[in-house]
Structure 1
Amino acid sequence: SLPESMRVNVVHNGFSIDSFNEVANNPEIKEKQRFRVAIVGGLLELKGIFDFLESAKISVMKGLDIEFMIVGENARQLKGIKAFILKKMGFYRDVRKECEYFIQENSLQKNISMLRFVEDVSKVYRSIDVLCFPSHLNATGRPVFEAAFFHVPSIVAIENSLPDTFKPHETGLAIPQKNPQALADAIEYFYRNPKEIERMGRNAYELAIKNFDSQRNAEKVLDIYRDVLSKCVS
């Protein structure tokens, strides 16, 4: 919405893997035994959590040996009478409970694991092959470039992504929003093409280092301040 003539310097939020180096491993995250994909973040419908579940069902029905991991918690933790009233009024959904019901009803207990928020998010990214971000918001979320720091490519529901955040077929695969079949197809593509995981993961890492490294971005902000101050002095 800014005028094209206006000079703009974009500095993204930074992320540093060093901050997680001293955190103990989470015992809930088992050592990877097979191809593993994950969705990370608050459990919300608009984050595409149910699309992720449906894609798992599709993949299992095709006989693919894939583990689906859900890492996150309900956006609002409510219990008791308050939760009951809000639910009756349509203002509250226990998405975790809905996910657990879906898993049980479709006999997917051996294929889908659910973890609550983990303090050491790096442990999650180190244990997966591909990150899924099937959001309904047409945006590249923080988990995408967090995963990129660990050479993990992403499947993102997005149109016309910005080249400094996500590059289709280079740092991951882009899919339409609200499309479990497209998500399942993208997952299967990576499942059958491990070299593409390596290639796109490497590209994702290089893009993350360039645009999301906290140290580099801090220096960029400092340079902007210096530039502004020099003009004020002159």
Structure 2
Amino acid sequence: MKILISHPSGNSNVRAIVKGFLTQGLLYQFHTSIAVFPNNFWHRIAGLKGLGDIKRRSFDSGLKAYTEAYPIKELGRMVASKLKMNSLTKSETGVFCVDKVYQNLDKKISKKLQQAQKEGLTAVYAYEDGALETFTVAKALGLECIYDLPIAYHTLLQELLHEEALRKPNWAFTLGGGINDSVEKLERKRKELELADTIIVASDFVRHSLPEWAKKKKIIQSPFGTPFSSDQLVLKEKNDNKKLRILFVGSMTQRKGLGDLFDAIKLVDPSKVELVVLGSLAAPISFYSEQVKFTYEPTRSHDKVLELMRTCDVFCLPSIVEGRALVIQEAMSQGLPIIITANTGAEDLVKPEETGFLVPIKDPKAIAEKINWFLANRNKIFQMGKNAKELADTYSWDSYASKICSVLSSQEN
């Protein structure tokens, strides 16, 4: 099997699977928007003022010979975002919006498949919102179509977000673009899934979100690796006489369940608990601070996020809908037990009273109960943090990619 894989930005899971394909001899080509390699053009300009974000697009040098880049749309998006030219990045309509970046890459690839097949290509691997043109041409050529679905399928996502807009109307504007997706965009998603031969998911939650007709397709489920290797990290016991620090990390929206966490904090003793929130604002800070007292921490570099995590006691993410929230494993790697919902896609990380607790979505009382449990059992937190770290360390990016590669190779045979 020879696979062409595409993704505009190349996040952690994309990097892992591309590396896995290369290692296993499955990679035909990797197509992306911007790819930074040692001493190439992008590496040189990444040092210029305002362009530091480009460094995030760095890839292993071994991929250079397999990589094709299409930078114009993505570079335009990055610059327009920096300059706050919102009309240019507006969802679906802006000339440099995320949708246009995905679709541009999709179209470019679709035009190269016929020649690629003559050179040995047997399969294409693409992600939600960036697969339709590729899959349409691939199907006509008899190529395998592998579809990576990183978040719950849109029918469930839409259902949950619309319920939230009604349940918490004052938070509705924070729910993001997903709730406003056009009929055309949703139809595109449906067609992509319909054309797929194999579906890749990272959690039970995403798998169960698939429509019944799609569950009959070949499905490969492999959990993401922990973003940070904590083998050398030595956990230290914290002072039980201080306030219990509950940490939330993520976009400050109700899709992440932040409103429910705020409501839960109102139900516990403020003299014993401190809520710490690190994330990007979806509203003026006054919107949040008027609701509950908390410590706001702005977004920062990855190492500084890890540093903050180590100053807290418990991590809480009561998300309404996710795919698999990597930040949970990240927090666990720093010794934090967790309070999460199954909808984070990380239900397998919860061992009650050992690594943390699972709570229902939309249930501030349940969150408050678990916070109070930690208050009453502070002597257990250190060991639970050690348990959480040990469990998080068992999830590696190599194993994530290895399982997918192994199943794809066996399917060919």
Q: TM-score range by the shorter chain?
A: 0.5 to 0.7
* Residue of structure 1 aligned with 2:280, choices 73, 76, 84: 73
* Residue of structure 2 aligned with 1:117, choices 295, 299, 304: 299
| Residue of structure 2 in register with 1:179 after alignment | 363
Distance change >3 Å, CA 151–CA 14, structure 1 → 2: closer
Distance 2:311 2:227 in 1: 19
> Comparing both chains, which one has the higher relative contact order based on Cα–Cα distances under 8 Å and sequence gaps of 6 or more?
1
CA drift of 1:199 comes to: 3.1
Answer yes or no: is 1:99 the counterpart of 2:288. yes
1:121-180 per-position Cα deviation (integer Å, ceiling 9, x unaligned): 101210100011111127652221111101111111227976643333332111121122
Opposite residue 249 of structure 2, the aligned amino acid is V
CA drift of 1:183 comes to: 1.0
Helix, strand or coil: the match of 1:168? Answer: coil
| Residue of structure 2 in register with 1:129 after alignment | 313
Distance 1:183 1:118 in 2: 27
Number of aligned positions between the proteins: 190
Distance change >3 Å, CA 58–CA 140, structure 1 → 2: farther
**Structure 1 residues not aligned, in runs of 5+:** 22-31, 76-93
| Paired residues of 1:43 and 1:74 also in contact (CA < 8 A) | yes
Distance 2:254 2:344 in 1: 22
CA drift of 1:218 comes to: 2.6
1:40-75 per-position Cα deviation (integer Å, ceiling 9, x unaligned): 111101211122222222213xx6411111111224
Answer yes or no: is 1:195 the counterpart of 2:407. no
Distance 2:295 2:386 in 1: 27
Opposite residue 398 of structure 2, the aligned amino acid is A
| Paired residues of 1:138 and 1:158 also in contact (CA < 8 A) | no
Answer yes or no: is 1:36 the counterpart of 2:220. no
1:92-122 per-position Cα deviation (integer Å, ceiling 9, x unaligned): xx2633102223xxxx3xxx21111122110
**1:130-149 equivalent positions in 2, closer than 5 A:** 130-137=314-321, 141-149=325-333
Helix, strand or coil: the match of 1:15? Answer: coil
Q: Normalising by structure 1, report the TM-score.
A: 0.66
Distance change >3 Å, CA 141–CA 167, structure 1 → 2: farther
Helix, strand or coil: the match of 1:176? Answer: coil
Which structure has the greater CA radius of gyration? 2
CA drift of 1:221 comes to: 3.0
Helix, strand or coil: the match of 1:221? Answer: helix
| Residue of structure 2 in register with 1:15 after alignment | 227
Distance 1:51 1:225 in 2: 39
Helix, strand or coil: the match of 1:58? Answer: coil
Give aligned-pair identity as a percent.
24
Helix, strand or coil: the match of 2:266? Answer: helix
Distance 2:263 2:228 in 1: 33
**Structure 2 residues not aligned, in runs of 5+:** 1-209, 234-240
Q: Normalising by structure 2, report the TM-score.
A: 0.40
| Residue of structure 1 in register with 2:135 after alignment | none
| Paired residues of 1:140 and 1:166 also in contact (CA < 8 A) | no
Is 33-42 or 166-175 further displaced after alignment? 166-175
Distance 1:168 1:130 in 2: 14
RMSD between superposed Cα atoms in Å: 3.4
Opposite residue 296 of structure 2, the aligned amino acid is M
